[in-house]
Structure 1
């Protein structure tokens, strides 16, 4: 008897020792696993990358490194799915600490007494199994128990359930409930029905069943069994049960439509996150991509192969639609190139910004006259697109007609370096040398991207406040800076809204308030249209990614038409820019020239002209004072005649303000058979060398004799006979306004002498 008691004690001690060792072993497994657990999701590195729109809707999805559709849901688990999964997999999930003792004991009993094995794993234990992927052994099963306890220590129940459902297998290469929802039902997981939730609850338990050609009925039976159980538990009524039982099993995977592929690729390369939330509006993106593809088909026959477009929220700077090409899958026409970031000549798109800055500098008002006649700026002779000139034209009309010559001259007056540095700040350009571009800057010699153009026009639409564009949410809003006054921005936007272009289509202006500008690059390589409303900023580009020119490329016709087709697809675009009344005031300006007349100048006007000499115009309060008119000159009149200081009656003459048009303008009008004699004052110079200009360096190729051909141009208002002298030698005599000569390399002196004694001279050099 004593022997039996001693044996029992030894056995008990041995059991206690084994229990202690088991607990110590378990504690070791627990502590070791706990210390390896990251603070974030266990599976963060395994997820497929996806790009979402601003409302969390899928834009683009990319397979992970294991070639799986493995998406992490961007939203909390839907309540229906949570109920279905816990009912089917782990009904005591919210009560246990990672291990369900009752389920484990039942599993042990069934495995020893029944041929069909049953599992006792909790959802926490299954998360461990999904994470570690251990072999199926009893020792690993024991380890899972303690690892599940550690998991419950490190994470809360919602986090554990989310990790399970985001990483559970759903058949083939589909991992996670969000992937399954998209691929099997073609919908976001937030929209799952009870039937769909029940199906997703049973699949991880037997993902091999989802062979839709072999097991649809088995799958349906298991789903329906769970639906009946959910109904019995009171989660929904009889009507919902009947409707749910009638829902069919999915017949295969549905294709996932990838939208905004160029932006999506860019974002996933820049981020380590699984889900990247963009600022894109999926509905707008889908509509505009469809519109772009349809429009592209119309252009193909014209040899225009590529299109890009960008839509930005004017107020916030958030990108709402990003279309890098006509079709990402159009391999033949280089559709994978991202046209939004490509650098190209912007053509005339920069003119509104010189216009606005010039208003702020007091150089012009919208009503101010600019000179539009043939001009030389050193070696640069700009031409208007239609090869014609207007003589004198208001600044507003010059902008609306996109005339090159007046804006080159305006840039010269404003300062091309000053404009370049303002442009650099407004558009976010990288620092570069302004002298590389010179006066051709205003015609598009500085290449820019669509993003930079959008930043400019968005800033203009934001009443002159410029800042970054944003593509992802959330973002840290950076401080914006005003480079254009609110008043000047409004006047510019108003001018761009009133555009009337030749051949312009009906753009439904009654329905849409939009201020826009077109642009065509030199050689017809790029067609642009860019503009803004209080809601949207849109930039459109059409051309060829190869850089091949095309005579069918026109900013207005090619890109402008598309811009307004896109605009029609955008919601709530019927608000005009509000007049900033506190930033604008009415000033008095000369009615003829649109510049300021001082009180002293008005006092010198003829009596019959004083009454109607001025007009009231809107001008920014924060701008510099508008310059005085350059088209007037003070003369001295006596007995209806103009006198000079040498005249004996000069002491009796009275000062008077008279119109004094520039010589090149008078020359232009004379060539148009307009009588200019009445605009000539006594001291007016009527003879002038227009080209070459003083100290000009002419660089041009030689002919076969080693000399360079040069066409000299002069202004000869009185049509008098002219003697032409080159290097002090008489070379020609006539009343012609041009002369072709051949010159050797070196410095030369040119003089012209008129019959009435007028003279003009220039010094220039020829290089090769």
Structure 2
């Protein structure tokens, strides 16, 4: 009988040993670590590794992790939980025997779990049984053979419970102290050391006396062991217990954009201090906007030299019920007039204009497109630079026509990599914002402008290397654009702050007042602001210069070094321009009464064209003659301003004398135009013929060789059916013009 008992015991021992060896060798370090990795919350840090945003995990816990563990916390935890941590191999047998004796002789039960054993328990979340305790002992040995002591302590602190739905010491520090983990006081470290042993103590209303008692007992122990001095000990006892403070996420839109299950933690390039200031200002400004019926805004601040994002605000408030979680930085909206500086720079490089070259700003039809300036005014002949500063539409539509709207469309496609290929859909209206871009895309363009034409991707990750960059227009044309934009008209007091706030900026207001933009760049910062309604609702108060511009300059006031100016690029040269229209001075002008002036121009640009407004004519006794005229041999050559008929009509109306060429022109419809007309309320299809005529003579309108009107009116409304038409108009002096067009249903 005794032998059988011995054999049975040996068999049990062998089975136990076999089981222990199996468990020991079956322990998978990678699987163990992976099980913890899956539990951590998604966290976005700022560039200094301060937490910006954190999100609860799938278990609805705040489970943050950090490798920045203060020495004070390590010392406090080891002294409270496992004083022999650095000397045992996973199990403290002396503590185990002492706990066994206490459990047999005392009513109050105690445990002897080491930090390693507790980590196994945290990983497996098993119930407290003797069998599970044996498992913990075996796996603690396996754990100690796989990981270093510091790795084990790090894992324990990052996965220990700290009350409620807080897991990990970093979560506790964020919600109880809101400070850098390395800046813990001895009192705070002692609180964090005792909480995992009994996290229910954090209910301060019920258990604050118990928590205080445990904290002070640990502080006394640390004092007696010489870890803290007498003065620190006394001061630590006076520190109050923590309170739970709910924390709002910073830059949550960026966190949602960057973080996912495969990227749970990222150190962003965001500056937490600036983010806090900008979010506060955005919230304040939003209160003002809402009184005007405007619900939303978005802001993006970039480090010009580093191509890094410093502030990212997707909406006025991520938690706002007015669609606050929509990311306004990425949302596609009308660009308004914000693309004009880039056409300006490209047109200079193409040899179409110099900054002071004159452009026409008069009522103009471009086929069936009739752009108007925002203020409904026209300025006649105005420099390209001032046209940009005033954001005039007609001169820039004309400039886009000269540059080529298809070419400009594909330039922007190359810069911003959009998929759209339908350049004809936008045509000349592209420059007025009919194609939608995000605030991020537009800010990327202004970032390139602030880097003298070097285009690179915006980076949101702090340790990401400088992006690849490429020159998209010359340094000189970039500088000339920057120089023009810094003189833009500002609203109110900001007009007196141009020395303190030097910024090359541009505003944009979408058609129908749905979007207002203000984007600008300085040598240090590039700032983009969008204001509007995510619903797309129009609002009469939406103006780029005032609504978005006001916020733009309020944000600039929060920044340092905004009084720096861009230095002139080294690839600028002086070129000779005609003094009348300020295009390239041609040698053929010599000997005529045409003076010249100088202007800055890129050395690498194409040769600037000669003036499209100067024409060489031959005049005899005040009459223009050609080579067929008998008096041509006695005629004298001269250069005159050769302006189109619509410009002459404008100057005549404004009582501005200009030399004239052609005296009559059909402005609308234009030749070869195909029209699809909508019906009026009375069911008729009508359109208006418009003429430019430089005198007050009678006009005769012929449609398909039939006289339809005679008189002095320069506008004629017709009701026409589908078909092909030829319109011929002649005045009493014999000046005439003719166009053919068609109408479709």
- Structure 2: how far apart are the matches of 1:341 and 1:664? 42
Alignment of 1:426-465 (within 5 A): 426-465=415-454
Cα distance in 2 between the residues matched to 1:704 and 1:571: 59
Displacement of 1:149 after TM fit?
1.7
Q: Provide the secondary structure at the position in 1 that maps to 2:639.
A: strand
* Match of residue 581 from structure 2: 593
Name the structure 2 match of 1:618.
600
Following superposition, the deviation at residue 94 of structure 1 comes to 2.3
Contact 1:51 1:275 in 2 (8 A): yes
Write out per-residue CA displacement over residues 352-391 of structure 1, whole angstroms, 9 at most, x where no aligned residue: 1111111111111111111111111111111111111111
Measured in 2, the distance between the counterparts of 1:588 and 1:49 equals 61
Cα deviation, residue 244, structure 1: 0.7
- The verdict on how the C-alpha distance between 1:508 and 1:502 changes in structure 2, with shifts beyond 3 A counting, is closer
**Mapped contact 2:491–2:545 kept (Cα < 8 A):** no
Compare 546-555 and 205-214 and name the one that shifted more.
205-214
Give the structure 2 partner of residue 510 of structure 1.
Answer: 499
Residue 122 of structure 1, CA deviation? 1.6
Q: Please list every run of 5 or more consecutive structure 1 residues that lacks an aligned counterpart in the other structure.
A: 1-6
1:344 aligns with 2:336: no
Q: Are the aligned partners of 2:620 and 2:634 in contact in 1 as well (CA < 8 Å)?
A: yes
Identify the residue that residue 168 of structure 1 maps to in structure 2. Answer: 160
Tell me the residue number matched to 1:366: 355
CA contact (8 A) 1:429 1:452 kept: no
Equivalent residue, structure 1, for 2:22: 28
The match for 1:253 is 244
- Is the Cα contact below 8 Å between 1:420 and 1:434 reproduced in 2? yes
Aligned to 1:720: 697
Helix, strand or coil at the partner of 1:432: coil
Cα shift at 1:565: 0.5
RMSD over aligned Cα, in angstroms? Answer: 2.5
Q: 1:292 maps to what in 2?
A: 282
Partner secondary structure for residue 332 of structure 2? coil
- Report the secondary structure of 1:46's partner residue: coil
In 1: Cα distance, 2:703 partner to 2:622 partner? 41
Residue in 2 that maps onto 1:3: none
Q: 1:216 to 1:624 in 2, by over 3 A?
A: same
1:81 aligns with 2:68: no
Contact 2:406-2:424 within 8 A present in 1 as well:
yes
What SS does the corresponding residue of 1:623 show, helix, strand or coil? coil
How far apart, in 2, do the equivalents of 1:621 and 1:223 lie?
A: 74
What corresponds to 1:751 in structure 2?
Answer: 728
* 2:273 matched residue in structure 1: 283
Shift of 1:41: 5.1
Q: Which moved more, 1:152-161 or 1:643-652?
A: 643-652
Which residue among 209, 227, 230 is the counterpart of 1:235? Answer: 227
Match of 2:640 in 1: 658
The answer on whether the counterparts of 1:170 and 1:204 sit within 8 Å (CA) in structure 2 is yes
2-structure distance, mates of 1:212, 1:17: 53
SS of the residue 2:204 aligns to:
coil
Deviation per CA, 1:693-719: give whole Å up to 9, x if none: 111112222458865323222222243
SS in 2 for 1:408: helix
Q: Corresponding residue for 1:144?
A: 136
- On the 8 A contact 1:378/1:697 being kept in 2, the answer is no
> Quick one: which of 41, 61, 64 aligns to 2:57?
64
**When the two structures are aligned, how many residues end up with a matched partner?**
745
Instruction: Please say if residues 72 and 275 of structure 1, whose CA atoms lie closer than 8 Å, have aligned partners that are also in contact.
Output: no
**Structure 2 gaps, min length 5:** none
Aligned positions of 1:368-383 closer than 5 A: 368-383=357-372
SS in 2 for 1:38: helix
Residue by residue over 1:276-299, the C-alpha shift from the partner in whole angstroms, topping out at 9 and shown as x without a partner, is 332222111111111111112222
Corresponding residue of 1:4: none
Partner of 1:310: 300
Aligned to 2:173: 181
String of CA shifts for 1:45-96, please: whole Å, max 9, x gaps.
Answer: 11222222222112222222222222112x4211110111112222222233
Match of 1:38 in 2: 31
Task: Find out whether 1:414 has 2:406 as its counterpart.
Answer: no
Is this contact kept in 1: 2:62–2:167, CA < 8 A?
Answer: yes
User: What is the Cα deviation at residue 304 of structure 1?
Assistant: 1.6
> Aligned partners of 1:327 and 1:479: how far apart in 2?
34
Paired with 1:208 and 1:757, the residues of 2 have a C-alpha distance of: 101
| CA distance in structure 1 between the aligned counterparts of 2:528 and 2:704, rounded to whole angstroms | 54
Identify which range, 545-554 or 397-406, moves more after superposition. Answer: 545-554
1:44–1:274 Cα contact (<8 Å) kept: no
1:130 aligns with 2:122: yes
Could you tell me how far 1:604 is from its partner in structure 2?
A: 4.2
CA distance in 2, matches of 1:350, 1:602: 35
TM-superposed deviation, 1:658:
3.3
Change (3 A) 1:231 1:728: same
Task: Please report how far the alpha carbon of residue 514 of structure 1 lies from its aligned counterpart in structure 2 after TM superposition.
Answer: 0.9
Task: Give the aligned partner of residue 209 of structure 1.
Answer: 201
Change (3 A) 1:706 1:243: closer
Distance change in 2, residues 1:289/1:641 (3 Å)? same
Aligned to 1:263: 254
Give the TM-score taking structure 1 as reference length: 0.92
In 2, Cα distance between the equivalents of 1:276 and 1:292? 25
Matched, 1:471 2:460: yes
Indicate yes or no: 2:667 matched with 1:690. Answer: yes
> What is the rounded CA distance, in whole Å, between the counterparts of 2:556 and 2:408 in structure 1?
30
Q: Structure 1 CA distance, aligned partners of 2:539 and 2:127?
A: 65
